[in-house]
Amino acid sequence: MMDKSFIEQVRHANDIVDVVSSYIPLKRVGSNHRGLCPFHKDSNPSLYVSEPKQIYKCFACGASGNVFGFVEAFEKLSFIEAVKKLAGRAGISIPEQERTKTVSTKREQLLAVYRSAKDFFANNLHKHGASVLDYLKNRSLSPETAKSLDLGYALNSEKSLLNHLLKEGYGVSLLKESGLFGVYQGNLTDMFRERLIFPIHNSTGEVVAFGGRILDGSSPSKYMNSPGTELYTKGNQLYGLFKTRYDIGQQKSALVSEGYFDFLRLYESGFTNSVASLGTALTDEQIYLLMRYCKHIKMLYDGDPAGIKAAVRGGLLCLARGLQVSVVKLPQGADPDSFILDNGKDAMQALIDQAEPLIEYMAHSDRIENPLPERIDQLLDAVRAVKDPIQREFLIKDIAEAFGISEKALNSKLSRSVSREIEPEKSPVAINQGDFSEERMLLALSLKDRESYNLLANELSEAYFNNKLLKSVFRYLIERVKPEDLDEPSSILDYIESKEIKESLAELLFEDLHDMRFEDALTQVKIRKLQRDISDMDRMIEKDPQNLELLKQKRTLTQIYRRMTKKVVNKVLFQSGHI
Q: Where do the DSSP E strands lie in 8-83?
A: 27-29, 32-35, 47-50, 55-58, 64-65
pLDDT, residue 576, reads 44
Helix, strand, or coil (residue 145): helix
Q: For residue 428, what pLDDT is reported?
A: 36
> What is the phi/psi pair of residue 389, to 5°?
-65, -30
Question: Which pLDDT value is given to residue 332?
Answer: 92
pLDDT of res. 466 = 82
Is residue 239 within 8 Å of residue 261, measured between CB atoms? no
The whole-number pLDDT of residue 425 equals 35
pLDDT at 457: 82
CB atoms within 10 A of CB 203: 15
The answer to whether the beta carbons of residues 348 and 336 sit under 8 Å apart is yes
Q: CA 226, 230, 231: angle at the middle one, nearest 5?
A: 65
Distance CA 273, CA 319 (A): 19
| Segment (H or E) for 184 | strand 181-184
**Identity at 378, one-letter amino acid code:** Q
- pLDDT of the residue at 435: 37
> What is the reported pLDDT for 422?
34
- State residue 107's pLDDT score: 82
Q: 333: alpha, beta or left, given left = phi > 0 and alpha = psi -120 to 50?
A: left
Side-chain-side CA neighbours of 576 within 13 Å: the count stands at 7
Tens of pLDDT, residues 389-437: 889 999 999 999 999 999 999 999 888 755 334 333 333 333 333 334 6
Write down the pLDDT at residue 104: 56
At residue 512, the pLDDT reads 66
Q: Which pLDDT score, from 0 to 100, does residue 514 have?
A: 58
β-strand pairing of 195-201 with 187-190: unpaired
The predicted pLDDT at position 183 comes to 87
Q: Which residues of the chain have pLDDT under 70?
A: 1, 96-104, 217-220, 280, 417-437, 495, 497, 512-516, 567-579
